[in-house]
Homo-oligomer: A and B are copies of this chain.
Amino acid sequence: MSNTTEQRHILLVDDDPQFTVVMSRAFQRRGYSVSIAHNSSEALNCIAQQNFQRAVVDLKMDKESGLQLIPQLKAAQADMDIVMLTGYSSIATAVEAVKLGALNYLCKPANIEEILKAFGDSETQPAIPDQPHSVDRLEWEHIQKVLQENNNNVSATARALGMHRRTLQRKLQKKPVKR
């Protein structure tokens, strides 16, 4: 199914530089050669220069939608496996992405394990039953991200998350979080 010895190219399309850097390292550690694009035109530039077996593309990049990129990537290389990854997910966009040819659709936060699994190589490490995030851990990361987007405004974050401010406070002061 998967040939781990051959060099594989993957294209990361996300407007968040930090995210792409972190992901890039993670993929490289697993034997991928990675190219990074921060918007659609950069992505198209990349695929004009070489072929990619896989692409991870963000749904929401500044003003443009990653959805439009899918058919363009597919047009250049019909057998490319594309996984959509986004922090602003919805059922409607997920359906659209798959109809447009995406292989899968994930919500951030997601780690490499989950992304690789989304591509289909779940059989990488049968010995290690690599666990998905625990619900608590996921919650923690999500809260932190939204907190940051709201400039550490606890009240605004609580509103955005649909949770009571008091509850958020308690979660924030109590959690080092395991796993």
Contacts and interface: CB of A to CB of B under 8 A. Distances in A.
A107 B145 CA distance: 10
A141 to B, nearest CB: 6
A107 to B, nearest CB: 6
Interface residues of A, number: 47
Contacts of A93: 126, 128
A179 interface: yes
Nearest to A141: B107
Contact of A149 (B68, B117, B125): B117
A33 interface: no
A43 interface: no
A94 B96 contact: no
A57 to B, nearest CB: 13
B132 A59 contact: no
B131 A142 contact: no
A156 B68 CA distance: 37
A88 B125 contact: no
A133 interface: yes
A142 B127 CA distance: 22
A107 B91 contact: yes
A132 B87 CA distance: 7
A132 to B, nearest CB: 5
Given A128-B59, A139-B135, A145-B132, A95 B96 contact: no
Interface in A73-90: 87-90
A14 to B, nearest CB: 14
Interface of A: 59-60, 65, 67-68, 87-96, 98-99, 104-105, 107, 117, 125-136, 138-139, 141-143, 145-146, 149, 160-163, 177, 179
